[in-house]
Structure 1
Amino acid sequence: MKRKFQKILRYMPWLLLLFGVDAFFTVLLWIADLDAFYAMSALLLLAVLLMFSAICFVLVRLEEKREQVFFDFLANPDEYHEERLLGVLVPAQGEAVRLLGRCLRDKQNAYIGLLEQMNDYEEYVESWAHEAKTPLSLLTLLLDNRREELSETVSCKLDYIQNRLQESVNQMLFYARLKGSRKDYLFEHISVRGCVEEVLEDYKPLLEEKQFQIQADMTEQTVCSDRRGLRFLLRQVISNSIKYCGKEPELIFRFFKENDCHVLSIRDNGMGVRSCDLPYIFEKGFTGDSGEGRKKATGMGLYLAKEMAKELNLSLDANSEWGKGFEVRIVFPVVG
């Protein structure tokens, strides 16, 4: 009703002019013949009300029709819808509509072209990432089967190289998926403890090299999420803890229920983050000034973790005290 009244207000000057004309002729009738005026006053009032009601009804219907045709034109600005729009507007608006149609068609064609380029780029990145996994798999197989033939120093360096390459490939692949138009998440009930153990197994050589102490206070409680996406998120957090660990490093995992949600807390005892940097750690490319190690950082790990959390409908936040460690909390909504 409010919208209909707003449509009528557009024609208010013309309606007021019509009302003035009616009032003028009513006054003339009153001056010419007072008895006839009194006799016809009820009929005049009814005629005016009916006339204004009919005019308002027609005006609202015309405005609704113009509005619908205009929305159809915006949704599909081809020549057919352009001609339909021209048919319900005054000729003076024709040139503006034609200009708008040309601009919209140009923008639409440019959008389609960019969408095709993005799809090609996404397919290329995914293809490249899968191709890169082949030599990585061979490197992993070599390290597993020939480790006794390698010195401890060489073995640690190859483990580090293999892990960094694998992490970089995964980051590129998931970044392309996050920004792409196609999503292939599979939400199911999965064990958080199982996902954590799988990721820790992937990082086992680096964790052993750094002599990490792992503490895990987790039950077999399941959550509804995408296994591959959750593992990627955990990899970014654990990798961050490994990069910026201190002496006698520790990783503490706790899984508990809080305020009708399940929370996974991942805490380390590394250098932590300065309080002035903490609000920005999930921003793309942000590395802060917390030590020499961050000068070589890309600032993408925690950013991708945050983006993946959004995709999986999870909450991700961090707490830290400079020099006393860093904590990431992943909050899972409870699904009935």
Structure 2
Amino acid sequence: MSLQERQQASYPLYLEGGGEMGMLTRSFNWSETVLGTPDKWSPNLLTTLSIILHSKFPMFLWWGPDLIQFYNDAYKPSLGKDGKHPKALGQKGAECWPEIWPVIKPLIDQVMNGGEATWQEDQLIPIYRNNNLEDVYWTFCYSRVIDVNGEIGGILVTCTETTNKIKRTQEIEQTLIKLAESESRSNKLITQAPVAVGVLKTKDLIIETANSKILQFWGKSANIIGLPLALALPELEGQPFLQILDDVYTTGTPYSSYEIPARIEYNGIFKICYFDFLYQPILNQSGETESILVVATDLTEQVEARKIIEENFLQFRQLADSIAQMVWVTDESGTHEYLNKRWYDFTGSNFDHTKNEGWDDLVHPDDVARAAEKWIHSLNTGDPFEIEYRLKKHTGEYVWVLGRAAPFYNAEGKIAKWFGTCTDIHDQKLLQEQKDDFISIASHELKTPITTLKVSLQLMQRMIDNQSPQMMSNLIERANKSMDKVGVLIEDLLNTSKYNHGQLHLKKTVFEMADVIDECCSHIDYEGKHTIKITGDTNLKVYADAGRISQIVTNFINNAIKYAPKSKEIIVRVYKENDQVKLTVQDKGPGIASEKIPHIFDRYYRVDSSGSQYSGLGLGLYICSEIIKKHGGTIGVDSKPGEGSTFWFTLPFLGTTAAVSP
């Protein structure tokens, strides 16, 4: 069952709770709408509804071509008491909002056609409610909701009605204007006003009145009253305020702005502060500007707090982008909100693709169900998320990663977000698999000769009183061969341990390559089935550890006998190549597949992956490569299927005579 099918099957979980609107949504007869019953709804619609119903912030949703409506308890007051609620639930947008449709439909079309989200602040949109057409102010955002098919499925509306705020502001402004126009009362009332208020007189902007709030904002005392503003606040020079005030006085046109930075001096220290302010011209009976009313609100603390939050988030992003792990953040429902640069570089994906069903597209098909089940369990229980699964790289290759996530709780003790990481563990995973295979192979390889040795010893014990010289000789030979095999295996293990801990020590001497080759060939059992042909200049000298080099040559020849049993002739060749001595061992066997050649000298690697056809621990060639690296040489293999293989190594060339001493 796909994730989409599981979500649709468990749709009641998405609609549970949510207060009155949750109850109405569950009991609504959706079969009579174009959406059909909830079990057929898109998983993205269900997830969005779950967020809306459990939010304490007013939220509204239009879904599908007919813009079918959903909303939560926090949005209900905005519908008034004239019957829009609960009729608006499940209703088409055009039927619900005929009085404002010409205003909002273009905004809806903009978002539905793939445009950017809209943002309107303190927008006047009159609506019919409470049996009357009311002037209503809104701050709202229309943002798109992507459906499972990657197309825009609907529009999420997050909104706040600001009618009361606007009306209060207008009332304060009008009251202050009227009070300012009444000379007999203005000074006293302005002084007592709960907001920062001042009056600037004439074109020279003489400070006629200033209450304690505005003096505090300016960082001045009452001694500045009667002075021109430019003289009282010389730090305004080079800032736009004096010019704006001059324009207001000249044109008689009010001016207002929000979160404007101002450089103000406090006790000899200059500081950047942020204000919302209004410059309102006060006209005389002739319609000429007589003075300017200044109303200001200090927003410095709010702006600085927001900047700290923004800076912290920027630092988080920079930190997240600088680490090796892939970092991701989701909301409480599991919808992705952020992925770091490492994620995009690794997957070659983008945010729009990943934030919905795109994650499942990148997970190996065999791991999707397991990962989804684990993730849904964590979302439902709050348990930390941890799982190993395969993730597709931008190259198309699946790589093992370790996924982890932990919940972040808000001040109310509820999960607000999930912070997660994906760590590339592919090499460790493969190494662990190789180690597991190695343990299995080692157990098998050691068990066989030990069993043979045990049987030989048991038979010899039985023959103590009734000895047969011929049989005793055979049993001793078999026991010795078994002991030799065990010795070789143990030696490989000990050598590997030394190499891993940097404990390989070389005993270098000057010798001819012929000495090593002759010694190797005298100890190798051909069983009369193979011929070793030696060619080239075997008198070439090297400065190396003769025992270790002999170990490599023996390994190469034994491998040729083992893996190319039908190659009757094995050719050993020594020659000078540039400033190196190169030794090659060539067979006419089946060759090696090209995809296996890059791994042939890896630790624990065996060309025969079944582990049954050939003996060995997969350490021989790895040990050979470590020995050659320690000598400063190179090692490799040239092979094509059906054409045999040539293993080789190089060592620094010294000459053909003993010209160099150790």
TM, length-normalised to structure 2: 0.26
| Higher percent of residues as helix | 1
| Higher percent of residues as strand | 2
Higher RCO (CA < 8 A, seq sep 6+): 1
TM, length-normalised to structure 1: 0.49
